[in-house]
Every structure is written in C-alpha cells, then in structure tokens.
Amino acid sequence: MLTINFTLKQLNGHHRIFAHFNYHPPLISIVKQLPGAKWSSVYKSWHFPPVKEIMKMLSEKTKGIAELNIDELRRQLEERKSLPAIQQEYTNKPDIAQLSEANRLSFEKYIQTLILKAYSNSTIKTYRNEFFQLLKEIKNKPVDDLNIEDIRRYIYYCFKKYEISEATANSRINAIKFYYEQVLGKERMFVELPRPKKPLILPKVLGENELARLFNAVPNLKHKAILFTAYSAGLRVSEVIALQLNHVDSDRMQLYIKSAKGKKDRYVGLSPLLLDVLRVYVKSSKIKPLKYVFESVEPGIAYSAASAEKIFNNAKHKAGIKKEITFHGLRHSFATHLLEKGVDVKYIQELLGHFNIKTTMKYLHVRKEQLVNIASPLDDLWRKGEIKWQGPTI
C-alpha cells in the first residue's frame, strides 16, 4: 500500500499542507479534487489548505489505496502552537532591536504573560503596541525602575507631543498597568493616576430606508448574505466571518456565536429570511463552503474581516449613503431598531453579548430561552417589501 507523507509549508503568505507520495495516477486524481488543491512546481507536490475537514475527506477517499503518515505534520502543528512560536509572532512585529537589552527582555516577558493569560489576539496586539511606545520613549532607562510619577509625566508628554485621544490614553494606561501589576506583580500602583474622561459618543445607525437601499445595492448573493447576517442578529464582523456551518441550527432557529468578544459564547435568533438566503447562497455556490458559512477563495479558510468591511463600504457608496458609518453600524442599527420596537433593553444586552449589565441584572433575571424568540428586524424589513429577495417563499 502507498504511503502519503505530509508537511506544513508557507506559500505566498499562507500555510499549506503538502502531500508527498510516489507517482500513482488514481491517487493523484483523488488529491487534485480536494477543495483548494493545487500543484506546486517548486516542491513537486500537491498541496491544500490546513483544514481538518479536508484531511478527513482525504482519509475517507484513500481507504484501501494509501496510508496517511501525519507524524511530521503533527509535530509541525504542535510546534506552531508552542509558546515560543506564538511569542515570536508578536515580538517580531515592532523593531525591538532599538530597545535596550533590559527593556527587550521586559518586552518579551510582557508578551509571554499576555499569551499565558489567554488574552485575545486583538488585545495582545493593542497592548503590545502601546507598551512598545513607552519602551521606545524611555530609551536606555529600565522600565522596571519607573514609578507612578514617571508614568504620569509620560502620559502628559503623549498628550502634548502626539495629541493622542482620550481613548488612546486610556488604552496606553491599561497596557502599562498590565506590565506593572500582572507581570511584575505590583499591587494597584495606578490608583492615583488621573484617567482622561471618555467622551460620550452616540452610536451611528442607519434608518430602515437606508438599510433597504444598502441591501438592495448588493447584487452578489454571498455579499448580501454577509450583510444580512450581521444586521439580522446584531453580530460583529469578527462573529460573522467566524460563523461555521454547524453553528446554524435550523431546527431551533438559532445561531451559535462561539468565543465572541471576552471569550463568551451565546445563542441568538436565526431570522427565517436569513435562513432562506443562506440556503440559496450555499446551494448556488460553485465552490461549496467546507467549514465556515463564508469562506475565502481557499476552501475551509474563513472570509477576511477586511473583505467584509469592503463589501459594506461599496454598498454604502452605491446606495448613496453619506453617513460616516462602518460595518459595525449594522450591529448598532440592529440594537436601536429593536429598542424602538419596544424590546426590553435587558434582552438586547443579552443578544449583543455585552458584559455591562451589572446594575440592572441585580434586579431582573432574563431567561435565556426567551432570547431566541425575539423576531429579527431584518424580517420586518422584508415583510414591508423594502428588501428585494426573490428566493423561495418563507
């Protein structure tokens, strides 16, 4: 029996699984039909996206023909998951060569602690960049020797020289606070540091007429489905692109939002119109989604947030909407429209997955089962005839 050996290599900025085996026409025919499979003339080997479902598909199709040897692949994948490999990914971004040796070691320890505490990628990147700014400014002075007055002068300096916003100042303080309290273990050293008052910024929302124009300006079914998904359940762009096929529960009419912001899972209602749109989209797709509801050109690889944002911006421009609003505005619009329709704010907070419900939740208890029965405002737009949709009757 033939043996297929696998290795993980980076090609054009993307990781790919390479399948190595002796020339065998029937086996070549199987491998080349895998989702996203391509031939590399450089490595003289077929390769495909590093997706578990593709490996499972290959295993099933090659039973009795070939044996899969994944030892080297497993070793490489474990190496990628190891702390030093992950740490290097974050520490290589800023030019740490310009830091003193002591501060470079502090920076590496800082990144390591963030990873060990399982902070999200976005938080790690934000904290990393803010802490690096401090290290760059103090030059050869060891960061461990700074006191609260040094930090106060540094924040004042940032306001004066760089004219940073209140939000950036708070983010910078939080990043520095993490180092002294979480890495060095100093207790509440920032209690006396003045915090800039955050400005009250009201969320920007789209009216129903604007939403209808926005949705109707998108002819591409996949693109329309992405925008519908965001608005129908008030999802963040990260939650839309992370939505997997097995997270769509048509029996209970729910969407499972896994490990959202704050690593909090939640269920939201599945709009009947959205379900209809998703079914037509998947059925009509030439390349069927393998794992995620919305995938990139590589099967099994999630669509990018940047691409989803671009879809929104193009639709907004085509619809003639002049408001300064981003993809996230669909989430704000969802919440605002539910509130206007009389839905209790406690339900809306649960649907959005917000943590900031401390005071109100002391007195009110919201049953989770009720949340998924709240009708999506997307369906209201469709019933009014505002949205053009020619799919099957719901």
**Residues known to be catalytic:** 236, 261, 328, 331, 354, 363
Asked if 187 and 181 touch (Cβ cutoff 8 Å), the reply is yes
Which among 316, 351, 307 is positioned nearest to 211, based on CA atoms? 316
